[in-house]
């Protein structure tokens, strides 16, 4: 089992870029527990309504189309995606606070983990004497994400519009991650993704890359 110095790792990235696979491999190699933040998102949305918390229901409220990515312009879908992610930041911090109360290492992955909330998570960990790190996976090519969806969801047809939004969201996350000095790891080549994420995490100290702030564009 590889050496592990961290207590909690947050893996952010857009849909279809390989977060779940990387998280599973890192967890299996280090004995960590995997938390899929999408499960938390579904639970929070199930407990609320669009009237109670409209910021959590942009895509399933009474005025939302069945396939928003096909009915709304990509820029509008991206805007609502970001708004949803920001509205979910308290839930993400709740997950982090809970994980910091137990001695079991964990990897939290999800589309809705923003760089801003990861920075706050690192600060919470530092205050608790725990090592919290974050890394963001990036794929800015919509065609590649379309192919990923086709491989992962063969019954879903060609999802080019959804992939276009995901690629734009990936750029937004990557830009924010660099501002917060988190490593940004290119998803390709796929076979080495988990290893490159692991190396990026090894170079992180209290959320700042060795060698100074600013993050990196690829690993």
Q: What pLDDT is recorded for position 69?
A: 77
CA distance 120 to 128: 12
Domain ranges of the chain: 8-209
pLDDT at 40 exceeding the cut of 70: yes
Q: What is the pLDDT of residue 207?
A: 44
Q: Say if residue 213's pLDDT is above 50.
A: no
pLDDT tier at 163 (50, 70, 90 boundaries)?
A: very high
d(CA 71, CA 78): 13
Asked if CATH classification 3.40.50.300 holds for the domain at 8-209, the reply, yes or no, is yes
| pTM for the model | 0.89
Q: What is the pLDDT of residue 104?
A: 92
Q: What is the separation of C-alpha 96 from the centre of its chain, rounded to a whole number of angstroms? A: 14
pLDDT for res 35:
97
Output the average pLDDT for the chain.
89
pLDDT-derived band at 211 (thresholds 50, 70, 90) equals very low
The bridge status of strand 8-12 relative to strand 106-110 is parallel
Q: Which residue has the higher pLDDT, 47 or 16?
A: 47
What is the rounded CA–CA span in Å between residue 153 and residue 148? Answer: 8
Q: 82-96 pLDDT, tens per residue?
A: 999 999 999 999 999
Contact 120, 113 (CB under 8 A): no
Digit-coded pLDDT (tens) for 175-194? 999 999 999 999 999 889 98
pLDDT digits (tens, 9 = 90+) for 139-154: 999 999 988 888 887 7
């Amino acid at each position: 089992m590889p050496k592990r110095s961290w207590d909690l790792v947050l893996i952010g990235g857009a849909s279809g870029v390989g977060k779940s696979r990387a998280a599973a491999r890192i967890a299996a190699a280090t004995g960590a527990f995997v938390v899929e933040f999408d499960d938390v998102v579904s639970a929070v949305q199930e407990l609320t309504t669009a009237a109670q918390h409209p910021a959590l229901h942009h895509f399933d409220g009474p005025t939302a189309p069945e396939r928003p990515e096909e009915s709304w312009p990509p820029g509008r879908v991206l805007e609502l995606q970001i708004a949803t992610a920001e509205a979910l930041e308290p839930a993400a911090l709740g997950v982090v606070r809970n994980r910091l109360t137990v001695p079991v290492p964990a990897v939290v992955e999800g589309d809705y983990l923003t760089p801003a909330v990861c920075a706050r998570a690192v600060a919470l960990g530092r205050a608790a004497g725990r090592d919290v790190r974050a890394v963001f996976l990036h794929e800015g090519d919509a065609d590649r994400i379309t192919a990923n969806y086709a491989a992962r969801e063969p019954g879903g047809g060609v999802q080019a519009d959804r992939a276009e939004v995901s690629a734009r969201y990936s750029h937004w996350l990557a830009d924010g991650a660099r501002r917060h000095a988190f490593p940004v790891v290119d998803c390709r080549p796929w076979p080495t993704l988990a290893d490159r994420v692991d190396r990026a995490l090894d170079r992180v100290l209290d959320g700042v890359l060795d060698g100074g702030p600013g993050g990196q564009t690829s690993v």
